[in-house]
Amino acid sequence: MSESLSPECTPLKHAYDSCFNVWFEGYLEAALANASDAQRKVHYKQKAEEFDAKCGTIYKDYQNCLQNAVKKRGIEPLLQQAREEHPLTESLAPVASKDSK
């Protein structure tokens, strides 16, 4: 696993990366090809709740550590400038696969 922006955040990054990877493997394993839309919604809601329960605290701790590191390094104004110059005004659309055409 890679290092974090700040050395004091690296243990939290590694803990979060590990937690996320385990959760994501389970997320991808689900066989939903024959599921109804309602079943998919329930499944994805359960997976989101599972993520929050298992990884949410680690994620928040890591984000807090990163935010403090960004402030200490004086990077915050640069990030704000980038957000103003190139705002994310809409979410990215999923890329269509060959099979979906």
| Alpha helix (H) residue ranges in 1-101 | 10-29, 37-73, 76-85
90 within a domain of the structure (yes/no): no
Please state the domain count of the chain.
1
pLDDT at position 95 over 60: no
29 within a domain of the structure (yes/no): yes
98 within a domain of the structure (yes/no): no
23 within a domain of the structure (yes/no): yes
**End-to-end alpha-carbon separation of the chain, Å?**
36
67 within a domain of the structure (yes/no): yes
Domain enclosing residue 30, as ranges: 7-84
Q: For position 60, what pLDDT does the model report?
A: 97
24 within a domain of the structure (yes/no): yes
Say if pTM beats, i.e. exceeds, 0.85: no
99 within a domain of the structure (yes/no): no
pLDDT, one tens digit per residue, over 24-48 is 988 887 767 788 889 888 888 999 9
pLDDT, one tens digit per residue, over 45-58 is 999 999 999 999 99
91 within a domain of the structure (yes/no): no
Structure tokens at 15: 């803990």
